[in-house]
Amino acid sequence: MEKTDLKKILSVSGQRGLFLYLSQARNGVIVESLETKQRITFGESAKVSSLADISVYTTSEDVSLKVIFTDMAKKLNNGPAMSSKEDPKKIRAFFREVLPEYDEDRFYVSHMKKILEWYNLLQKFASLEFLEEEEDEEQEAEVTTSE
């Protein structure tokens, strides 16, 4: 299975699920739902975030989602994570194992639930192996040289 490029995996505020970036549109972006494979255009006013740009507060420095997803995958043997509807105590306990130094004052259960949902979508519809910066640059170089 191909490695996932978290720069191209998008979360859109107010929308369920995750989306794969396909192309720039005149007034927004064209994406494809990871789950349904349906193509959608989101306008400029949509709040779109790349998973590569999201990190979690800890007591020392912020930790990227890529690191968290990788640690979750190791702990879960690349299997699915618990449901985001699980008891908040169980969710907190899980994140204490995966990210023991998370900042309890700024990393809420609602954030944890979102990360569980995203992890499960990636686990089911993409890959939990992620492109490294160097691989990403190599792929971009291949695209520009082959055009």
**Averaged pLDDT score across all residues of the chain:** 91
pLDDT at 138: 54
- Residue 89 corresponds to which tokens in the numbers above? 């105590």
pLDDT > 50? residue 143: no
CATH code assigned to 54-125:
1.10.10.1650
List the chain domain ranges: 54-125
Percent of the chain with pLDDT over 90: 86
Mean pLDDT across 19-42: 95
So what's the pLDDT on residue 137?
A: 53
User: What average pLDDT does this structure show over 73-102?
Assistant: 97
pLDDT at 116: 98
Say if CB 26 and CB 17 are below 8 A apart. no
Residue pair 86/117 in contact by the 8 Å Cβ criterion: no
Positive or negative torsion for Cα 73, 79, 85, 90: negative
- Residue 115 tokens, joined: 């990360």
Burial class (CB in 10 A: 0-12, 13-18, 19+), 122: buried
Q: Is the pTM of this model over 0.85?
A: yes
pLDDT at 107 over 60: yes
